[in-house]
A and B are shown apart, each in its own frame.
Chain A
Amino acid sequence: MEAGLTKGLVVTYLSLIVLIPLAAIAAKAFSDGPGHFWDAVSQPQSVAALKLTVICSLVVVLINAVMGTLIAWVLVRDEFPGKGIVNSVIDLPFALPTIVASLTLLTLYGNDSPIGIHAAYTKYAVIIALLFVTLPFVVRAVQPLLLSLDRDMESAAESLGAGKLRIFTRIIFPNLLPGIAAGVALAFARALGEFGALVLISGNVPYKTEAASVFIRGQIESDNVVGAAAVSVVLLVISMVMLAFVNLVQKWGLRHDR
């Protein structure tokens, strides 16, 4: 195929699928003027929903960065019976329909909790649900890096007198950082927009446990399309800022691979 044609096809496709819808939502958000946009975004219930979503997402990706790396480490470096099963379980939260995830968590942590933990309808429920659905991202981003990591580097560092902690912080971690960053970016984007996993377990109490995505749905239902679009645009911008930041981290982490 001719180069011009393929390029045209790709641009058209991306425009139809991504750029035009994004432009449409931005246009909708500002359709009543910037003043209206600001009013919709700055009203207390939107602020509370956005705050909850952003803070919970940040907490979730932080936990993921640590635990995801740890899980990847165990899966790559340790041998134990049932490793194959554990490895395939990692993707389950991702593959599971999110509403099923929500129901599962509700059964476990709801008012009839068989283990006596009543986390449902609290902020913790939001965090637990988000942790559940974002589990694979960091694990799957770090795993291949860990697999391809040159073990001789660690032996070399050891022969030069380095202890275990130094080997991890100076040799292993810098080489995993791009993967952790990539996983965090995906997990954050997912957490920011998560709807299905939250809708049952969070209880959607305005000002308390109502996440931005659920709030947007509420706005649509009460016929405030402009308000819904405005909050959506804010989520979009946060996502883009986060992606840009993570991109920088990745570039920095890969500066030696030019």
Chain B
Amino acid sequence: MNAIAENLKTVSHGIEVREVNKEFGDFQALKDVDLIVPDGSMTALLGPSGSGKSTLLRTIAGLEVPTTGQVFIGGEDQAKKPVRTRNVGFVFQHYAAFKHMTVFDNIAFGLKVRKWDKQKTRDRVTELIDLVQLTGLAKRYPSQLSGGQRQRMALARALAVEPSVLLLDEPFGALDAKVRKDLRTWLRRLHDEVHVTTIFVTHDQEEAMDIAQQIVVMNEGQIEQTGSATELYDQPANEFVMGFVGEVNSLDGKLVRPHDTEILPAPTPGAVEVEIDRVVRLGFSGRVEMLTVPEKKEVWAQLTRSELETLNLESGTKAYVRPRPDAVTKEDTGALDDAFKEENPAIHKPTSVEPGLPV
């Protein structure tokens, strides 16, 4: 383990993307993308489907050739380098396991290409199998593994060749919720140990916020904002980022977070009239679900227990809501709804809140 960690540390490189455009026929998949990924960091490309995040990742890997623009890995221009010689570790959503090879042969593939001798290959593969916790499964075929095990095998296969960067395309997308969570915690720890520059693509904001140091929010082929989870949440650059990262209400043409939504018992200038639909108490905090009058648009507020007790709301009664004075708000132009037009259940659609779930 430590030997691998040491090796990867010395060869790891930062990534720079400069003014990259990518067109597929008439469709512009990437528009003037600029991005810097620090050496040894963990970065998430976050966005709805069709936002260009996978295309960007594949362009960095060399699996797609940019129409214009440059990609640098470790300061070196990759324009003339095919995937084959780029030395990137790439992990695919659906594992791309070599299904006719055993776990051992899958992981050894890149080493065989590099003509490592047998003993060295065996040692290294065994080490990697232990690292990804597949000990004892070396002779299994991918069809005899679970999804999580297959993805860990794919990771070991990518790490085997000591890649200068590790690129993961929705690595947990095909797994069920529980395995997903375990595996991302595991990836986080692995990254703490091996420190290889890592970029992963996801459409799950929670996944991105959970494990990435830097999150790149993408929409319609462009980068909307780059920053830490806190920066994106507290200082969203625009309407899209605000809606995509974290929950939002649309109040009187403004986007506002549920915890920034203030409920008032009496009419006040700037407050919207609502009818209380449901009050959910969840231990320390609670949520109030409301419908605006007369449009019947769903709005909800997150309150502390004492706030709830002071207000003493009952369903069916009228109340008035507005953003708190210090709230972060963005103009709601409806652009957000356009981005969510494509049905994607994994995206947290701001207005469809499942009642009763802990916030």
Taking a contact as CB atoms under 8 Å apart, the answer to whether B100 and A256 are in contact is yes
Taking a contact as CB atoms under 8 Å apart, the answer to whether B110 and A160 are in contact is yes
Taking a contact as CB atoms under 8 Å apart, the answer to whether A256 and B92 are in contact is no
Query: A256-B142, A258-B143 in contact; A158/B96 too (CB < 8 A)?
Result: no
Which residues of A sit under 8 angstroms from B158, Cβ to Cβ?
159-160
Taking a contact as CB atoms under 8 Å apart, the answer to whether A155 and B143 are in contact is no
Please tell me if A117 contacts chain B, counting CB pairs below 8 Å. Answer: no
Please tell me if A63 contacts chain B, counting CB pairs below 8 Å. Answer: no
The CB with the most chain A CB atoms within 10 A, among B82, B98, B110, B143, is that of B98
A171 to B, closest residue via Cβ: B98
Chain B, range 74-97, C-beta contacts under 8 Å to A:
82-90, 92, 94, 96-97
Which residues of A sit under 8 angstroms from B98, Cβ to Cβ?
153, 156-157, 171
CB distance from A151 to the nearest CB of B (A): 9
Query: A155-B63, A257-B143, A258-B144 in contact; A161/B84 too (CB < 8 A)?
Result: yes
Which residues of B sit under 8 angstroms from A157, Cβ to Cβ?
98, 109
Please tell me if A34 contacts chain B, counting CB pairs below 8 Å. Answer: no
Which residues of A sit under 8 angstroms from B297, Cβ to Cβ?
none
Taking a contact as CB atoms under 8 Å apart, the answer to whether A159 and B61 are in contact is yes
CB distance from A155 to the nearest CB of B (A): 6
Which residues of B sit under 8 angstroms from A170, Cβ to Cβ?
109
Taking a contact as CB atoms under 8 Å apart, the answer to whether B143 and A161 are in contact is no
* Per-position binary interface string of chain A over residues 241-258, scored 1 when its CB falls under 8 Å from any chain B CB and 0 otherwise: 000000000000101111
Could you say which interface size class chain A belongs to? 20 to 34
CA distance A34 to B194 in the complex (A): 75
Chain B, range 47-62, C-beta contacts under 8 Å to A:
61-62
CB distance from A159 to the nearest CB of B (A): 4
Please tell me if B124 contacts chain A, counting CB pairs below 8 Å. Answer: no
CA distance A171 to B62 in the complex (A): 20
Please tell me if B161 contacts chain A, counting CB pairs below 8 Å. Answer: yes
Taking a contact as CB atoms under 8 Å apart, the answer to whether B84 and A158 are in contact is yes
CB distance from B143 to the nearest CB of A (A): 6
CA distance A258 to B141 in the complex (A): 9
* Per-position binary interface string of chain A over residues 158-177, scored 1 when its CB falls under 8 Å from any chain B CB and 0 otherwise: 11111100100011001100
CA distance A152 to B100 in the complex (A): 14
CA distance A257 to B98 in the complex (A): 12
Query: A159-B63, A162-B113, A163-B84 in contact; A150/B143 too (CB < 8 A)?
Result: no
CA distance A150 to B100 in the complex (A): 12
Taking a contact as CB atoms under 8 Å apart, the answer to whether A158 and B83 are in contact is yes
Taking a contact as CB atoms under 8 Å apart, the answer to whether B96 and A155 are in contact is yes
CA distance A255 to B83 in the complex (A): 31
Taking a contact as CB atoms under 8 Å apart, the answer to whether B161 and A161 are in contact is yes
Please tell me if B22 contacts chain A, counting CB pairs below 8 Å. Answer: no
Chain B binding surface, main DSSP class = mixed
CA distance A160 to B88 in the complex (A): 8
Chain B, range 159-182, C-beta contacts under 8 Å to A:
160-161
CA distance A88 to B273 in the complex (A): 67
CA distance A161 to B163 in the complex (A): 11
Please tell me if B114 contacts chain A, counting CB pairs below 8 Å. Answer: yes
Taking a contact as CB atoms under 8 Å apart, the answer to whether A152 and B96 are in contact is yes
Taking a contact as CB atoms under 8 Å apart, the answer to whether B141 and A150 are in contact is no
The residue from B90, B97, B99 contacting A155, defined by CB atoms under 8 A apart = B90
Please tell me if B203 contacts chain A, counting CB pairs below 8 Å. Answer: no
CA distance A257 to B92 in the complex (A): 21
Which residues of B sit under 8 angstroms from A256, Cβ to Cβ?
99-101, 141-143
A175 to B, closest residue via Cβ: B100
A151 to B, closest residue via Cβ: B96
Please tell me if B157 contacts chain A, counting CB pairs below 8 Å. Answer: yes
The residue from A150, A159, A161 contacting B114, defined by CB atoms under 8 A apart = A161
The residue from B90, B94, B110, B144 contacting A150, defined by CB atoms under 8 A apart = B94
CA distance A258 to B102 in the complex (A): 13
CA distance A153 to B63 in the complex (A): 13
CA distance A175 to B158 in the complex (A): 21
CA distance A200 to B86 in the complex (A): 60
The residue from A155, A161, A174, A258 contacting B92, defined by CB atoms under 8 A apart = A155
Chain B, range 103-139, C-beta contacts under 8 Å to A:
109-110, 113-114
Which residues of B sit under 8 angstroms from A156, Cβ to Cβ?
90, 92, 96, 98, 154, 157
B101 to A, closest residue via Cβ: A256
CA distance A253 to B141 in the complex (A): 13
Which residues of A sit under 8 angstroms from B97, Cβ to Cβ?
153
CB distance from B170 to the nearest CB of A (A): 12
Which residues of A sit under 8 angstroms from B154, Cβ to Cβ?
156
Contacts A159-B62, A159-B89 aside, 4 further interface pairs with beta carbons under 8 A come to A150-B99, A159-B61, A162-B113, A255-B141
The 9 A-B residue pairs with the shortest CB-CB distance, nearest first, are A152-B96, A160-B110, A256-B141, A156-B96, A161-B113, A159-B90, A152-B92, A174-B100, A158-B83
CB<8 Å pairs between A and B, sample of 26 = A153-B96, A153-B99, A156-B90, A156-B98, A157-B98, A158-B82, A158-B84, A159-B62, A159-B63, A159-B84, A159-B89, A159-B90, A160-B157, A160-B158, A160-B161, A161-B87, A161-B113, A163-B84, A166-B113, A255-B141, A256-B99, A256-B141, A257-B99, A257-B141, A258-B141, A258-B144
